[in-house]
């Protein structure tokens, strides 16, 4: 007898109940993500910060404000799961290390990402920051090279630096990102959302 396909809401429930790395987290596990099988855009981020953890809302901070500006969308659109899925590399707040947020836990992506992405099948995947880039596009020695080359080569994959204020120096050093990559990102997002709102 053929095994019945798992309902997406059941998959999400399993993700939200995950305690795989509970022993290594500074707080009780609280996976923070938002996803729908209908989403045509997936944003793969780093890991929720403490504000996102406390509010159970992805990108609920200044980094989120900058990311939404780069994408050219408002909060209502950004948090509409039918349009955009928000899936971090690490689902729970990882704590702090050397005065900054610690790296995302390594257990989450191998355990859950394929199951989620296989069901969503996005038209655009946005990899935000080095951790997402290293996981999905490991062939690049630097994030800068990955951002530059992938933005020229593909329309279904765009890589950006993390929008944290810690990357302000990178943005100043690489003005081409906001001059050429951001407009391409905004155009691609607008194109996909227009199709979603006005399907053929």
Token digits of residue 196: 């979603």
Q: If residue 158 lies in a helix (H) or strand (E), which one and from where to where?
A: strand 157-160
* Domain ranges, residue 183: 40-197
Note whether 63 and 75 are within 8 A (CB).
Answer: no
Helix, strand, coil percent content, the chain, rounded in steps of 5: 45, 10, 40
Which positions ≥6 away from 74 have C-beta within 8 Å? 68
What would the pLDDT profile of 139-179 be if each residue is shown by its tens digit? 999 999 999 999 888 789 999 999 999 999 999 999 999 99
65 within a domain of the structure (yes/no): yes
Largest CA distance in the chain: 59
187 within a domain of the structure (yes/no): yes
- Count of domains forming the chain: 1
Which CATH number goes with the domain that contains 47?
3.40.470.10
21 within a domain of the structure (yes/no): no
Token digits of residue 106: 């390594």
Task: Calculate the CA 182 to chain-centre distance.
Answer: 16
Q: How far apart are CA 6 and CA 115, in angstroms?
A: 10
Q: Quote the DSSP letter at residue 6.
A: P
157 within a domain of the structure (yes/no): yes
49 within a domain of the structure (yes/no): yes
Q: Kindly tell me if the per-residue pLDDT of 4 is higher than 80.
A: no
Q: Tell me what pLDDT residue 23 has.
A: 95
2 within a domain of the structure (yes/no): no
Q: Kindly tell me if the per-residue pLDDT of 1 is higher than 70.
A: no
């Amino acid at each position: 007898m053929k095994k019945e396909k798992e309902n997406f809401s059941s998959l999400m429930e399993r993700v939200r109940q995950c305690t795989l790395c509970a022993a290594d987290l500074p707080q009780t596990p609280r996976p923070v993500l938002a996803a729908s099988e209908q989403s045509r855009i997936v944003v793969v981020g780093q890991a929720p910060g403490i504000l996102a953890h406390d509010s159970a809302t992805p990108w609920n901070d200044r980094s989120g404000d900058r990311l939404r500006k780069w994408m050219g969308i408002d909060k209502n659109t950004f948090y509409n799961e039918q349009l955009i899925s928000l899936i971090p590399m690490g689902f729970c707040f990882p704590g702090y290390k050397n005065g900054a947020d610690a790296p995302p836990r390594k257990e989450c992506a191998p355990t859950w990402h394929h199951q989620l992405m296989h069901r969503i099948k996005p038209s655009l995947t946005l990899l935000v920051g080095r951790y997402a880039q290293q996981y999905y596009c490991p062939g690049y020695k630097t994030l800068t090279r990955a951002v530059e080359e992938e933005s020229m080569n593909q329309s279904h994959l765009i890589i950006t630096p993390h929008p944290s204020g810690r990357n302000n120096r990178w943005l100043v050093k690489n003005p081409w990102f906001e001059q050429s990559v951001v407009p391409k990102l905004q155009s691609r997002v607008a194109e996909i959302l227009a199709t979603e709102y006005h399907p053929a």
